[in-house]
Amino acid sequence: MLLKYIDDFRDPAAAKALVDRIRRAAGDAPVRLMEVCGTHTVAIARGGIRPLLSGAVTMLSGPGCPVCVTPDGYIDAAIALGKDRGILLASFGDMLRVPGKSSSLEREKGAGLEVRVVYSPLDAVTLAAAAPDREVVFLGVGFETTAPAIGGAIRTAAGRGVKNFSVLASLRTIPEAMGVLAADPEVRIEGFLCPAHVSVVIGADAYRPVAERYGIPCVVAGFEPLDILLGISMLLRQKKEGVARVENEYSRVARPSGNRKAQDLIRDVFVPCDTGWRGIGVIPSSGLRIADRYAAFDAEKKFGYSVVYAPEGSACRCGDVLKGKILPVDCPLFGKACVPEEPYGPCMVSGEGTCAAYYKYGGL
Amino acid sequence: MHDKILLSHGEGGKRTRDLVSKVIARYFDNPVLAPLFDSGLLGRVEGEIAFTTDGYVVTPPFFPGGDIGRLAVCGTVNDLAVCGAKAVAISCGLILEEGLPLESLERALSAMRDAAIESGVTVACGDTKVVERGKGDGIFITTAGVGVSVDGWRPAPSAIRPGDRILLTGTMGDHQVAVLIARRNLAIEAPVRSDVAPLSGLLLPLLPRFADKIRFMRDPTRGGVGVTLNEMSSAANARFVLDEARLPVRDSVRGVCEILGFDPLYLANEGKAVLIVAGDAADEIVAALREHPYGRESTIIGEVEEGAAGVRMRTLAGGMRAVDYPVGDQLPRIC
């Protein structure tokens, strides 16, 4: 039954009708829309949607891939924690290939660094509870989607008295990054396709400041092909009507006010902070650090390491890709010095990275 | 006999002799193996010979729908079958970890015996080694297989031309998802069974009947249909175009993939074959495949088109995209 429900959002005839509607609604010059979220980027690439809309809509890919925007200083700090202190690191799988300044977790793992891939932050708490004589640090990377799970793991560890568990947090919030992109005259965004899962947590209303302050239409959309096409079509209608408001295509799951329980959990465990986004720079109040009352679970405080953000200086243009200023194919390294097996920049690493999606599903 | 494997079971002395003659040989009771010579004497074999080998290291060794023993026989039988050869004899190399319950070994051996009987192949020789606790994963099996080619049929990727059809003999991903769930670290329950099965009975009878209409066959094991088709496309120097709407995936497998962010195209199968066949014979070949229990869900999934080598897919949304090799393991997504 659930799958029947999914199939309804992949119906070829409905997709064709929506593509026709989008093409009719578009003007002479292609409309510049941004899909903020990495899962949208992959869904668009997997669905072969970009070429269907070419000439009518240019889909720019935003900074919503958590792995891609993690600064290399974070990877360096994680490696240092493992190497200098003999700490057991636990991580989501796709962090392993992300390049730091001079190495990656995958490469260090091959050289003996202990890194365990876990599917959930709670698995890392279990790991720590089973090895009380080892320090276990979970690499807590992500957006509002993973923050509640990581916060929940911290509260579980506190409740169960698992003292050898801590988190190296690198959590970010989406609306603040959208504000920076909206204000950038070079990017020229005419509409935001807002993330599905993030919006389930923070609620569609969270984008109202972006829509109202910058006059840019926002539509929350699901991740199925029809969700995306309908979302784009709704953005074009707003543009035609000359309005800029938040609409919710994904109302079957995302509520205007989001998931209060998850929001309370985030507010309990974390506090907003300024943070560096790889390729973009420091964005005020766009990060979440672990609140002082949970300082015992903050790996930076516990071990005296801090993640240093320094702007990247190389031929890699991930920053411009993340800001939607160029497409991956415009980067001189794309597909040459930078491929998924040997990624140079973070956008090529993650399955959700813009460059990886272009590389994997493009090249027609 | 002890109830667990000991290091001394692999040291060549009396315990080794007992393990081989009292346990292993009991499952493979045939005149080639029975004398326990250093080689199995196959006698005169008529026809052209095909030869293959494979190693099996699956964790866990027992999973819904099969186990490492059935896998070890079927994998080798299938490698021969997709090359048009009927398996005649296979070897059984066992690498056992100290402490393995004898019961587990017997379970795997009994599955090997059943699969060998089903495929009509003789287990002709074997070897047993025991490694220290912690140096293995319970049980590893290697098999090599000798087969005889069906008269007049050879894999012919160079005969592939635009208009040929791409056939798949059933649903994708059943084996890998069954094994993933059996590992029990994903906290997911789903009624998925491995498809592990010998394909010789499904494929070989078609070869004399359809002869050169069947151009090329592969079994899409590790890397799944996606990787196998890329390799076939390179070998044939031809462009393959898949139709997303026609890709067969069981609902239970799809459900797991939706949750974990896996693409069934890249999941391993152990009882499926991909066939590239002439366009004018495709429907008839699908009908013939469907008559066999292991081919009931056979279907056309795509077509060979004009153009450079590579695999493309017509998507449900009406677009077109590349189907490339994956890099590394598929990992559950972060968000």
DSSP A238-296: HHHHT---EEETTTTT--TT--HHHHHHHHHHEEEEEEEETTTEEEEEEEEEE-GGGGG
pLDDT at A363: 53
DSSP B171-237: -SSHHHHHHHHHTT-S-------------HHHHTTHHHHHGGGEEEEE---TTHHHHHHHHHHHHHT
- SS3 assignment, position B62: strand
pLDDT at A364: 46
Query: Does any CB of chain B come closer than 8 Å to the CB of residue A51?
Result: yes
pLDDT, tens only, A276-301: 998 888 999 999 999 999 999 999 99
A360 pLDDT band, cuts 50/70/90, is: confident
The CA distance from A224 to the nearest CA of chain B, in Å, is 10
B335 pLDDT band, cuts 50/70/90, is: very low
pLDDT at B329: 58
Question: B162 lies in a domain?
Answer: yes
Nearest residue to A68 via CA among A102, A116, A36: A36
- In sequence order, the β-bridge partners of residue A33 are A59, A191
The whole domain housing B79 covers: 7-149
pLDDT, tens only, B16-49: 999 999 999 999 989 999 998 999 999 999 999 9
Question: B241 lies in a domain?
Answer: yes
Q: Side chain identity at B129, as an amino acid letter?
A: K
Q: Say whether pLDDT at A241 is over 60.
A: yes
User: Mean of the pLDDT values across residues B230-246?
Assistant: 97
- What's the complex ipTM? 0.77
Q: Which residues contact A230 (CB under 8 A, 6 or more apart)?
A: A18, A221, A249
Rounded to whole angstroms, how far apart are CA atoms B64 and B50?
A: 31
Question: B331 lies in a domain?
Answer: no
Cβ pairs A/B, distance under 8 A: 103
Of B91, B123, B149, the position where a domain reaches its end is B149
Give how many domains chain B has, as a whole number: 2
Q: What value does the CA radius of gyration of chain A take, rounded to a whole number of Å?
A: 20
A3 CB neighbours in chain B (<8 A) are: 251, 254-255, 258
Q: Say whether pLDDT at A3 is over 50.
A: yes
Of B129, B149, B169, the position where a domain reaches its end is B149
**B83 and B196 together in one domain:** no
pLDDT, tens only, B256-291: 988 887 899 999 999 999 999 999 999 999 999 999
DSSP B116-159: HHHHT-EEEEEEEEEE-TTSS-SEEEEEEEEEEEPTT----GGG
The CA distance from B277 to the nearest CA of chain A, in Å, is 24
CATH number, position B39: 3.30.1330.10
Q: Say whether pLDDT at A1 is over 90.
A: no
Question: B114 lies in a domain?
Answer: yes
**Domain parsing of chain A, residue ranges:** 31-312, 318-358
Q: Side chain identity at A349, as an amino acid letter?
A: V
Q: Say whether pLDDT at A179 is over 50.
A: yes
Question: B236 lies in a domain?
Answer: yes
CATH match for A31-312 among 3.40.50.11740, 2.60.120.260, 3.90.105.10, 1.20.1730.10:
3.40.50.11740
**B178 and B295 together in one domain:** yes
Inter-helix orientation angle A147-160/A121-130, to 10°: 20
Write the DSSP symbol of residue A348: G
pLDDT, tens only, A59-116: 988 888 888 888 889 999 999 999 998 899 999 988 888 888 889 999 999 999 999 9
pLDDT at B328: 59
Query: Does any CB of chain A come closer than 8 Å to the CB of residue B312?
Result: yes
Task: Compute the mean pLDDT over every residue in chain A, rounded to the nearest whole number.
Answer: 91
Q: Say whether pLDDT at A346 is over 80.
A: no
Query: Does any CB of chain B come closer than 8 Å to the CB of residue A354?
Result: no
Rounded to whole angstroms, how far apart are CA atoms B253 and B175?
A: 10
B331 pLDDT band, cuts 50/70/90, is: low
pLDDT at A2: 53
**B239 and B141 together in one domain:** no
pLDDT at A315: 78
Contact B255 A143 (CB under 8 A): no
Q: What value does the CA radius of gyration of chain B take, rounded to a whole number of Å?
A: 21
Question: B256 lies in a domain?
Answer: yes
Of the two residues A323 and B292, the one the predictor is more confident about is B292
**B96 and B39 together in one domain:** yes
- SS3 assignment, position A327: coil
Write the DSSP symbol of residue B270: S
Peptide bond into B220 cis (omega under 30): no
pLDDT, tens only, B122-143: 999 999 999 999 999 999 999 9
Query: Does any CB of chain B come closer than 8 Å to the CB of residue A135?
Result: no
Q: Say whether pLDDT at B172 is over 50.
A: yes
pLDDT, tens only, A133-172: 999 999 999 999 999 999 999 999 999 999 999 999 999 9
pTM above 0.90, yes or no: no
